[in-house]
Amino acid sequence: MKVIGITGGVGSGKSEVLRIMEEQFGCRIIRTDDVAKELCRKGKAAYIQVVKSFGADVLDGEGEIDRKKLADIIFQDPSRREQLNHCIHPEVFTWLREEMTHLKAEGKVSLVAVEAALAKELQTVGICDEIWYVYADPKVRRERLKASRGYSDEKIDAMFAAQLSEEAFQKACSETIDNSGDLDSLTRQLTARIG
């Protein structure tokens, strides 16, 4: 079983890469953000850590973590992001390692893609055979974010500023997938790498 880490900046088209990998190559897809959301549900270990670190003010009326409230805290005080990561990442890493052990033992999947916003996360968990950087020209990313999410230039600028530089992504990754072009170009690149 081969495990490929997928990372890249917001608007780079990681979701499209994952969709093609799943539909055309039968790849099992794992999104670390989805795993983190599940592990932050009421009563789970990451939930307990987040509430302990950030207080009950981050909970909604149902007692679940209000992701918007948490995002606002982190946006106002970037040092709190590291605090949040310490609450969630260890739980996500443990889940991923256990899931890979389970999938290997089951023997039904030959290719797994694990998507994460940070290449460092993928390196730390230590489960990936390769880590691919999904690159897209900043102008293309900006247009995608405006069209698909309705983001303003100011919001996009803030998001870009908070992410790793292109050089840092490339240094951390073994392959670069250029997703600045059309779907055919993207599919050709994936076919060449996956086979």
Residue 38 assigned to a binding site: no
Residue 182 and residue 170: Cα distance in Å, rounded? 21
Residue 175 assigned to a binding site: no
Are residues 109 and 101 in contact, defined by beta-carbon separation less than 8 angstroms? no
- Report the candidate in 29, 39, 48, 43 with the shortest Cα–Cα distance to residue 94: 39
Pairing between β-strand 111-115 and β-strand 2-7 as defined by DSSP bridges: parallel
Please, what sign has the CA dihedral across residues 168, 82, 42, 106?
Answer: positive
Residue 13 assigned to a binding site: yes
Residue 82 assigned to a binding site: no
Residue 154 assigned to a binding site: no
Residue 14 assigned to a binding site: yes
- Residues at the binding site are 11-16
- Residues at the binding site for ATP are 11-16
